[in-house]
Amino acid sequence: MQNSSTPFSSRLSKLLLISLVVALVVPLSGCPDPEPEQRIYVLAIDAFRADYFEEAETPTLDALAENGVFYREAKVSAPSQTRVNFVTLPTGTHADRHGVVGASYRSPDFAHRSTDFPDYDGAQEDLPVPTIFEVLDREKGWETAYLAMKGYELVGARGADYQVHGEEYIPEHIWEERYETEVNGSWDQAVEYKQEMDDHLYDVLIDVVEQRDPQFLLANFAGLDYIGHQHGAEEDYLDSITHVDSLIGDFVEYLEGEGLLEYSTIIIPSDHGMTNIRNPENTIMDGGFDEPDFPELDDKGIEHAAYSNGGLAFSLYVEDSNRLSETAEWLQEQDFAEYIHSEHDISGLDGTLSEINLNHPERAPDFFVSVHPDYTVAFESHGQHGSLRDSDMYVPMIYSGAGVAEGVEVEGRAAAENVDLAPTVLEMLGLDPDVHLETQGKVLQEVVN
């Protein structure tokens, strides 16, 4: 821009005129509105695999990453499963602390238990650690919201003022087909239905922001996860990343239109990645969810229970501790067992449960088994997750907007983890995470500096 040639005196008189007008106008309108307080929107993208962020067309996420702090390969909690990580995110703890080790587990007396039994409210009461919703309510009086899609994310929602389950806002004809690879014989229609699930979540998001204006909100765009499972991490999966990107772009425009963007922090995490299954018909533990076991172990008289973790891993519980070595030997012979973790002193295994933060004192399995992607657990599927593979454990993570540093890309795998989100948000708000949470995470200094 060229220098203005307007004489200084003329500019000064303009300034004086403007001041006079402002002085006249302001008292007439009373006290100006106070500045809106900060809003924090955590918009999770379920099953957003790190290396696919590179490939997908994502103008909104690219801009958020460029203007904020971007972690290319953030690490999720093990098992790399939705309900586990959606408790990790608002509590800053791993499964060994928050106790949501998977969908089901066996208690020390070998009784079957579900992590959302008897209902989400009951499971929330059971959580032994504080949630960020409780802290923000108590310390700042903030209104908060947790917009789930699958429903079981809500196990981590204790203290959120407004909680919504996908079944409440997704039309029944779409909800009922969410696990189908084809709808009316059409693969494309099945994909469209799953993308539409995200559209419906978006509508709820706008309604909640307009009507309740929560200052902290966590929403889960989960259409991508259904697409990854039913259709694999292929072209439709990439298109669906672009679809969510456009919805987040609409949200940014909405905030801008409402004059809220400059007060808003947008955080994009994910709960796990997605691994392509090479032979979906190689299904293990296919007795269904009611009979989750291995006939070969039954034949040996080994009482056991196995529960799928996301379809590419399982937790195995053995009733008689004298049969553990024998069970380990059998597992090691199986082609499907890629990594075997156990806290028991058995040689030749791949690691302990403590190393992967899964050694919960009362709920830990005897063995946590990551399955090779030539196989799938419990049901035929083109994509699964849950394992310790990089494609399941690493996701992008973006912090952008109010209170966040700009233009920082943090190199290094696992520089950020899901367990870091809650402590980082509290630090950003001037609350000491070590005082208010029982977190196992760290404050991401690049974000708050």
Q: Which of residues 353-372 bind Zn ion (CB under 5 A)?
A: none
- With binding defined as CB under 5 A, does residue 387 bind Zn ion? no
**Least gap, CB of 416 to Zn ion (angstroms):** 18
Phi, psi of 54, rounded to the nearest 5 degrees:
-65, -35
**Which range, of 9-17, 76-84, 343-351, 429-437, touches Zn ion by CB under 5 A?**
76-84
Tell the smallest beta-carbon distance from residue 259 to Zn ion (Å).
34
Question: 46 or 420, CB closer to Zn ion?
Answer: 46
| Contact pattern from residue 259 through residue 278 relative to Zn ion, giving x for each residue in contact according to CB under 5 A and a dash for the rest | ------------x-------
Structure tokens at 350: 């791949």
- CA-based angle 233:238:244, to the nearest 5? 120
Let me know how many helices (H) and strands (E) the chain has, helices first. 18, 18
Ranges within 44-63 binding Zn ion (CB under 5 A): 46-47
| CA–CA gap between residue 338 and residue 340 (Å, rounded) | 7
Handedness of CA 370, 376, 377, 383 (dihedral sign): positive
User: Applying CB under 5 A, does 82 fall inside the site for Zn ion?
Assistant: yes
We find the least distance from the C-beta atom of residue 418 to Zn ion, in angstroms, to be 12
Query: DSSP letter string over 97-135?
Result: HH---SSEEE-TT--EEETT-S-HHHHHHH--S--HHHH
CB of 126 to Zn ion, least distance (A): 21
Q: Which is nearer to Zn ion, 46 or 96 (CB)?
A: 46
Strand pairing class (216-221; 39-45): parallel
Question: Minimal distance in Å, beta carbon 153 to Zn ion?
Answer: 8
- Measured from the CB atom, the residue of 225 and 338 that comes closer to Zn ion is 225
Alpha helices in 29-81 (DSSP H): 50-55, 59-66
Cβ-based nearer residue to Zn ion, 134 or 225: 225
Identity of the residue, 80 or 264, whose beta carbon is nearer to Zn ion in the bound complex: 80
Please say whether the beta carbons of 442 and 397 come within 8 A: no
Q: Closer CB to Zn ion, residue 327 or residue 384?
A: 384
Least distance between Zn ion and beta carbon 225 (Å):
5
Cβ closest to Zn ion, residue 38 vs residue 82: 82
What angle, rounded to 10 degrees, do the helices at 235-257 and 223-231 form?
A: 170
Nearest to 404 by CA among 265, 203, 220, 208: 265
**143 vs 198, which CB is nearer to Zn ion?**
198
Interior angle at CA 317, CA 315 and CA 322, nearest 5: 140
Least gap, CB of 392 to Zn ion (angstroms): 10
Q: Least distance from C-beta 228 to Zn ion, angstroms?
A: 9
What's the CA gap between 367 and 35, in Å, rounded?
54
The residues pairing with 417 across neighbouring beta strands, listed in sequence order, are 75
- Sign of the four-CA dihedral 273, 275, 281, 283: negative
Q: Minimal distance in Å, beta carbon 80 to Zn ion?
A: 8
Which residue number, 225 or 245, has a Cβ lying nearer to Zn ion? 225
Q: Residue of minimal CB distance from Zn ion?
A: 82
> Which of these segments, 75-83, 131-139, 227-235, 354-362, binds Zn ion (CB under 5 A)?
75-83
CA 281, 49, 150 angle in degrees (round to 5)?
Answer: 75
Question: How many binding residues for Zn ion (CB under 5 A)?
Answer: 5
Query: Interface with Zn ion includes 384 (CB under 5 A)?
Result: no
| Binding to Zn ion, residues 193-252 (CB under 5 A) | 225
Q: Could you list the residues that contact Zn ion (CB under 5 A)?
A: 46-47, 82, 225, 271
